[in-house]
Chain A
Amino acid sequence: MSMNQYGNSNQPQRGPAQQPPPSQSNPTGGSYFVDQKKGEINELKQLLRAVSVDRDPKKKREVIKKVIAYMTLGIDVSRLFTEMMLAIETRDLVVKKMVYLYLCTYARQKPDLAIMCINTLQRDCNNQDPMVRGLALRSLCSLRLPAMVEYISDPLKASLTDANSYVRKTGVMAILKMWHLWPQAVEDGAMVDTLYNMLQDTDAQVVANCVVVLNEIMADAGGMATNTAIVHHLLGRLEDFNEWGVCHILALVSRHEPADEDEAFEIMNLVDPVLRTSNSGAVLAAVNCFLLLTKNMPDMRYQVYERTKAPLLTLMAGGSSETVYCILKHLEGMLPRCPGVFDDEYRQFFTRYNEPTGVKYAKVRCLALLADSTTAEAVIAELGEYAGDMDPLLARQAMRAVGKICLRLPGSAAAAIERLIDLMGMDVSYVKAEAVQVVEVLLRKYPQWRTEVLPSLQRCLKHIDEPAGKAAVIWMVGEYGDEITEAPYMLEPLVDAWEEEPSSQIKMHLLTAAVKLFFKRPPEMQSMLGRLLARAVNDLSSQDLHDRALLYHRLLKHDPEVARRVCCCERPPVSGEFAEDRDTGRRDVVFSEFNTLSMVYDDHSDNFTLPEFRAKKVKNTRAIPGEAEANDLADLGLALERSKADQQQLYDAAVTAPAGGGGGTSGGDVAPPAAAAPEVDLLGLMGGDENGGGWGGGGSQAAPTAAGGGVEFQTGITINSGQFQSLWAALGAGVESSFEMSKVPASTQEVEGLLTARGVNTMASGNKPAAMKFFFYAKDVLGSTYLMQCSVLKPERLLELVVKSDAPDPAESARAISGVVKEAFASYLR
């Protein structure tokens, strides 16, 4: 709500307040009007204090509503703060909500007064009515006052185990609000762990909120960390979520890397029903999942495009113009990747007369991509119709699309060029101009069609006003002048009108064309070229022009034959596409952000978002859930143990007190959804051999290695995370060492690659601004296992190593393996 609206005397009279607009009765306008409002605020103050109002709930509602009305119009009613705070003590929920709304708006202006209402809010957090509890908690956190943190903590903790799901979901969002106010409070309360545990809540909205909150809190680490168990748990309950929840879950799933093809197929089967829903956001999220799951399976990818075809077209046919626009923008990115799939549905991309221009343009661009050898003619005919449209931009885009189709499909050249020649004859200047530009490009690839085009050039030149169009004609006259009888006389008027020509683009083309034509028609051109060069050399409007004219002049003077070879050299015919169309790198980058604004803007997000709002690029699969909490694996182990214990407790509570006996955290409300997700071990780190492989980091592909330091490692071994943890804990203190580094590795993958080559496998790794952390393991040929924790402290340039081993002589073998690691890091060390 901005204050500047206040100055505008017309503003408040359109307001929701049901009273005659004051400014009408006060023709004096601005300043007087302000005073009158002040008077009204005083009046409201009186009313709020009046006993008669206090007794009449209906009246009270009206008065408070008026206050809110002013507030939403941007009128400063903060002077009523005290009176409004008194109104907070009420049983009337409508009034209460309005007061809360007021409070959230002005609390930051009046933090001292806002503290006064803390008591009421805290009390409301314990109200009998779950709605009031949720409302109070939400308002409490929405005050955005750091001073409130201490008052928030307790109600917040209580809300997370509330029996009512509305309160729990509000509580989960409150964690995020708290995190923005004071991140430490969230970390101290180990709330990330709590949130991970709450993924098992019976209420889908609570789970969905956990996902978005975790994702935002862990944004710096690339978003919420997941593993197979979490992903499958969430997908198993996909039907329970509302459509927004589905969007969020699918966005999360799309970041998950399946361990193998079977898992990918399994996930796709679970996601498939979403394609039948009518929410375009959910459908695109599902498509994104499909695309990412099959990114290493080219055959499957084609099938994915086939599968998504019908749903996307249905959304395009029936949606509002805004959603259609979005879908089309995504299709525009998809079409070049799946040639042939959508081709037979090209009619769906014909424009409708009443669509917004953006939709029409996108459809035209899609048509250019869709046409194939059988449909090209029909598509070109349709595009030809658009060229006569009232909207010049649509007409131009249609003609460019014709050009694109023709360049891609040589078989369509006849139809395309015939159509374009037709358009060159149309009585509209911009149509002509665009048509000749397209034809110019086409002739570079299909020069054999020039005989059809050249006769209409003379007429065109006279009627085209646009520099680009005129330049295109001039280029053609210069290039094929020997086949146009009147070519020199087409250029002559332009040469003589040199001084009046404002466009240097035209002048430049004219100069080149005249020189080229000179070599083809010397007798007719000689004197004209002389005049032209004299004028161009003396033309001060453009340095380029001057320089080029001088170059031609000197070339001709030096040796006309050399000049001829320079100006009229043989060029190899254009085969294939033009280089500028081959810019797939940029397109790939944009496509990697499928189902985001990037696709709509056709631009990478780095170009339109501020750094703090960018997704961090951290390889998600390697981050460990709960890593934000755990500083090393030992701590992590503890954290996970604890969470497992909590789950067990939850489970027990649910089993023993199924009727909501209030035990444990939230009573029977939180029974594990056994049918949907039988795994109670959500974090998947505790067992499950099939998950371990996914974490193994490619150790199995390593070649047998005889590493330095006399240790020889086995290849192809895997240890799952559970084994790693228990072994790490069992082995006791390790051997520590540290090395100074000259530089820091660019990525964790780099380091992992180096160690993999030496037979050392990666358990997990993470990259944070201050440090990289790795957990490695290896087994030597004698069967001893080595576990390593390796930290790269970036600011200190220090490599810290902790090695544990079950070898007979741990100290000796630790030294040996330290040597291996040191060798791997050799290029980074001092």
Chain B
Amino acid sequence: MSIAPVSQFFILSPRGDTIISKDYRGDAVAGTTDTFFRKVKFWESGDPPPCFTIDGVNYIYVRKNGLLFAVSTQWNVSPSMFLELLNRLAKVFKDYCGVLSEEAIRKNFILVYELLDETLDYGYPQGTSTETLRNHVRNEPILVDSVKSMRLPSALKTKTAPSSSIQKPVSGSGQKNGSQRNEIFVDILERLSVLFSQSGQVVNSSIDGCIQMKSYLSGNPELRLALNEDLVVGKANAGSSFGSVVLDDCNFHECAKLDEFESMRQLSFTPPDGEFVLLNYRMNAEFRCPFRLFPSIGDIDPYRMEVVVIVRADMPETAAGTNVVVRLPMPRNAVSVSSEVESRVPGQTAEYSANEHRVVWTIKKFQGSSELTLRAKVTLPNVVNAANRKEVGPVSMQFEIPMYNVSNLQVRYLKIAEFAKSYNPFRWVRYVTQSSSYVCRV
């Protein structure tokens, strides 16, 4: 029975306070938000799963910027559908409030209730696209200071945003014809999952990419976006096409029309308001890893060992990694750890966190074609043994590389379809490569 409604929607703060709570069907069991929060907070082992059931009530929730967005229902619903719905609602709130934070939602609670009234009726999802909602939403957003409230950036939020306009809400009809600039932001975002073996060999590597957009074009013209002509989708179809970009698979936003995708690698679409992901893609083929890691362990004396991590930026000099963080777990019984980085390259720090048993090495800017080294001396209470060595690692790395992508997927052009209005919008096309899970075993 996967056609079934939810009874409640609610947003809880990280401390468990109810910020928003809407009872759609009048059948909500009393105290559900408290029951829910207690369960999430005190989950028996590991992280709580996104769906669970207590006394016949099912809870489905997602966590966004520390906030909990949840629905409750007594029906056996489709969990995926409602998880998608929660993600979508969070996006709609972000589109309308500008940012997604506790403060923004509290300040705009009337707006949020208004949106909730339109997006679900009697527990069944209705329209959730930002532009159709616009006709029915009358409250103006109250802006909050975005810098403060962006304490916890979402995975897709990057520090390299070209302007603050990405955080401005899609406003009501008022501003539409005013001073608003005709601009569209296109991000080609690639998240890398790479696993290196001890010897630096790539064990597993994949790219999850997406083309994300945010449109502020007036009149919602139809757009055309063209990708590499030699793009191949599906390994089976790759055949002899050497040198071309081979995606394992991809999926599309509902607005995308695929008539010319197979022949010309061109998508036509009318961009919805607000942020949306036009295309998700996945690639498993070998690619040039932007960073390579070479860890090694040596003994200094019977009670001390030295762990050395060399990181090499295997990309052109023009590119650079930013916000690089390398985490190096140490044996749990380590007495002390002293770490050291090369002083010739500024903007690096390495600190040992005794609570987490790991060295955290941060590098502000990691230039392409360069190499950096971390040395950590570990003192143990016992004579160093194999088990201690086993506890070192795996080294994980976090980074973001602006204006660089590894898949070679490219936006050839983005233009307004001929028959639509002819004006020249500002196009901000960015390529960003991020780490998803970038790990090297020691």
Chain A residues with a Cβ under 8 A of chain B: 1-2, 5, 11, 14-16, 18, 65, 68-69, 72, 74, 93-94, 97-98, 101, 131, 138, 144, 166, 169-170, 173, 176-177, 205, 209, 211-212, 215-216, 219, 223-224, 242-244, 247-248, 251-252, 275-285, 288, 310-311, 313-315, 317-318, 320-323, 325-327, 347-348, 350, 352-358, 361, 382, 385, 388, 390-391, 393, 426-428, 593, 595-601, 605, 608-610, 613-615
Chain A residues near B51 (CB-CB < 8 A): 326, 597, 600-601
A350 touches B195 (CB 8 A): yes
Chain B 366-404 per-residue mask, 1 if CB under 8 angstroms from chain A, else 0 = 000000000000000000010100110010100000000
A314 cross-chain contacts in B, Cβ below 8 A: 248-251, 280-282
Assembly CA distance A14 to B13 (angstroms): 10
Interface residues of B (CB under 8 A from A): 1-5, 13, 17-18, 20-21, 26, 30-31, 45-53, 56, 58, 61-62, 74-87, 106-107, 109-110, 113-114, 117, 121-122, 124-129, 135-136, 138-139, 193, 195, 203-204, 206, 208-210, 234, 248-254, 258, 277, 280-282, 284, 329, 385, 387, 390-391, 394, 396, 436-437, 439, 441
Q: Do A244 and B85 touch across chains, with their CB atoms under 8 A apart?
A: yes
CA distance A799 to B51 in the complex (A): 47
Q: Please, how many angstroms separate the alpha-carbon atoms of A244 and B132 in the complex?
A: 15
Residues on A with beta carbons closer than 8 Å to the beta carbon of B75: 609, 613
Contacts of A327 in B (CB 8 A): 80
The interface residues of chain B lying within 8 Å CB-to-CB of A310 are 234, 248-249
Residue of A nearest to B24 (CB): A142
A323 (CB) vs chain B CBs: closest residue:
B83
**Assembled-state Cα–Cα distance A67/B433 (Å):** 47
CA distance A408 to B385 in the complex (A): 35
The distance from the CB of A290 to the nearest CB of chain B, in whole angstroms, is: 15
Chain B residues, Cβ within 8 Å of A385: 441
Q: Taking CB as reference atom, which chain A residue is nearest B87?
A: A320
Q: How far is the CB of A139 from chain B (nearest CB, A)?
A: 9
- CB pair B78–A68 under 8 Å, yes or no, is no
Most buried by A among B13, B30, B53, B210: B53
> 7 closest A-B pairs (Cβ-Cβ)?
A281-B81, A352-B437, A357-B46, A615-B1, A427-B387, A322-B50, A244-B125
B436 and A352 form a contact (CB under 8 A)? yes
Closest to B109 in A: A16
A597 to B135, Cβ gap below 8 A?
A: no
Q: Is B49 touching A358 in the complex (CB atoms < 8 A)? A: yes
- Expressed in whole angstroms, the minimum distance between the Cβ of A212 and any Cβ of chain B is 5
| Residues in B whose Cβ lies below 8 Å from that of A614 | 1, 76
Hey, which chain B residues are within 8 Å of A361, CB to CB? 46
Q: Are B204 and A347 in contact (CB under 8 A)?
A: yes
Also in contact, A93 and B138, with CB within 8 A (given A244-B128, A247-B78)? yes
Instruction: For B5, list chain A residues within 8 Å (CB).
Output: 212, 216
- Residue pair A212, B45 in contact (C-beta under 8 Å): no
Bound form: Cα–Cα A170–B127 in Å = 12
Identify B110's interface contact among A98, A281, A613, CB under 8 A.
A98
| Interface pair B82/A356, CB less than 8 Å apart | no
B128 pairs with A597, CB closer than 8 A: no
With A317-B208, A608-B56 known as contacts, the answer to whether A11 contacts B17 (CB < 8 A) is yes
Chain A CB within 10 Å, residue with most, of B110, B127, B391: B110
A183 CB → nearest B CB, Å: 15
Q: Is the CB of A597 within 8 A of B110?
A: no
Known: A252-B3, A600-B51. A277 touches B251 (CB 8 A): yes
14 extra A-B contacts, CB within 8 A, seeds A242-B254, A326-B83, A595-B78 = A16-B106, A131-B135, A169-B126, A205-B126, A244-B85, A251-B78, A276-B258, A282-B81, A310-B249, A348-B284, A352-B439, A361-B46, A391-B46, A595-B80
CB distance from B376 to the nearest CB of A (A): 18
Chain B residue with the shortest CB-CB distance to A428: B387
A-B contact pairs, 20 of them (CB 8 A): A72-B20, A101-B117, A144-B26, A173-B121, A243-B84, A244-B85, A244-B124, A244-B125, A251-B2, A252-B3, A278-B253, A279-B84, A280-B80, A313-B249, A314-B249, A318-B210, A427-B387, A597-B77, A597-B78, A615-B1
A211 in contact with B284 given A72-B109, A278-B251, A314-B251 (CB within 8 Å): no
Which residue of the partner chain B has the closest CB to A239?
B254
B80 touches A326 (CB 8 A): yes
Please name the residue on chain B nearest to A352 by beta carbon.
B437
CA distance A101 to B115 in the complex (A): 12
User: Contact at B251–A311, with CB atoms within 8 Å?
Assistant: yes
Q: Please, which residues of chain B bring their CB within 8 A of the CB of A243?
A: 84, 254
| Complex contact A317–B206 (CB within 8 A) | yes
**Chain A residues positioned under 8 Å from B80 (CB to CB):** 280-281, 283-284, 323, 326-327, 595
Whether B126 contacts A348 by the Cβ 8 Å rule is no
Nearest CB in chain B to that of A65: its residue: B110
CA distance A601 to B53 in the complex (A): 8
Which of A2, A209, A354, A595 touches B437 (beta carbons < 8 Å)?
A354
Complex Cα gap A382–B125 (Å): 42
Contact assessment for A97 and B117 in the assembled complex, using a CB-CB cutoff below 8 Å: yes
Are A242 and B128 in touch, CB under 8 angstroms? Answer: yes
Chain B residues with CB under 8 Å of A357's CB are 45-47
B193 touches A352 (CB 8 A): yes
Chain A: minimal CB distance from B270 (Å): 14
Chain A hits for B83, CB < 8 A: 280-281, 320, 322-323, 326
Question: For A252, what are the chain B residues with a Cβ–Cβ distance below 8 Å?
Answer: 3
Least Cβ–Cβ distance between B73 and chain A, in angstroms: 8
B76 touches A597 (CB 8 A): yes
Cβ of B234 and Cβ of A72 under 8 Å apart? no
Query: How far is A177 from B122 in the complex, measured between Cα atoms in Å?
Result: 8
Known contacts A278-B280, A318-B210, A348-B206: A353-B396 contact under CB 8 Å: yes
Pairwise interchain contact A313-B248, C-beta atoms closer than 8 A: yes
Chain A, Cβ-Cβ closest to B283: A317
Q: Which of A219, A350, A609 is within 8 Å of B74, CB to CB?
A: A609
Residues of A within 8 A of B61 (CB): 322
Q: Are B45 and A393 within 8 A (Cβ)?
A: yes
- Residues in B neighbouring A313, C-beta threshold 8 A: 248-249, 282
Chain A residues whose C-beta falls within 8 Å of the C-beta of B210 in the assembled complex: 318
User: Do B254 and A277 have beta carbons less than 8 Å apart?
Assistant: yes
- Which residues of the partner chain B approach A276 to less than 8 Å between Cβ atoms? 250-252, 258
- Closest Cβ of chain A to B259, distance in Å, is 12
A593 CA to B2 CA, complexed, in Å: 9
Give every chain A residue within 8 A of B138 (Cβ-Cβ). Answer: 93-94, 97
| A68-B58 Cα distance, complex, nearest whole Å | 28
Q: A14-B106, A313-B248 are in contact. Are A173 and B124 (CB under 8 A)?
A: yes
Given A242-B127, A356-B47, verify A281-B84 contact (CB < 8 Å).
Answer: yes
Say yes or no: B30 contacts A2, CB within 8 Å.
Answer: yes
Known: A16-B107, A310-B234, A427-B387. A285 touches B248 (CB 8 A): no
CA separation between A313 and B280, bound complex, in Å? 12
Q: Are A608 and B53 in contact (CB under 8 A)?
A: yes
Taking CB atoms, residues of chain B closer than 8 Å to A97 are 114, 117, 138
- Give A605's nearest chain B residue, CB to CB: B76
Contacts of A216 in B (CB 8 A): 3, 5
B3 and A211 contacting across the interface, CB-CB below 8 Å: yes
Which B residues are in CB contact (< 8 Å) with A593?
Answer: 76
B121: chain A residues at CB < 8 Å are: 138, 169-170, 173, 209
Contact across chains for A277 and B252 when beta carbons are under 8 A apart: yes
Task: Report how far A334 CA is from B155 CA in the complex, Å.
Answer: 30
A598: nearest residue on chain B (CB-CB)? Answer: B76
Residues of B with C-beta under 8 A to A350: 195, 203-204
User: Of residues A205, A348, A390, A609, which shows the largest number of chain B Cβ atoms within 10 Å of its Cβ?
Assistant: A609
- Determine which of A101, A278, A390 lies in contact with B277 in the assembled complex, contact meaning CB atoms within 8 Å: A278
Residue of B whose beta carbon sits closest to that of A388: B390
Q: Which residues of B have CB within 8 Å of A2?
A: 30-31
Most buried by A among B20, B81, B210, B250: B81
Residue of B whose beta carbon sits closest to that of A354: B437
B124 touches A242 (CB 8 A): no
Q: How far is the CB of A351 from the nearest CB of chain B, in Å?
A: 8
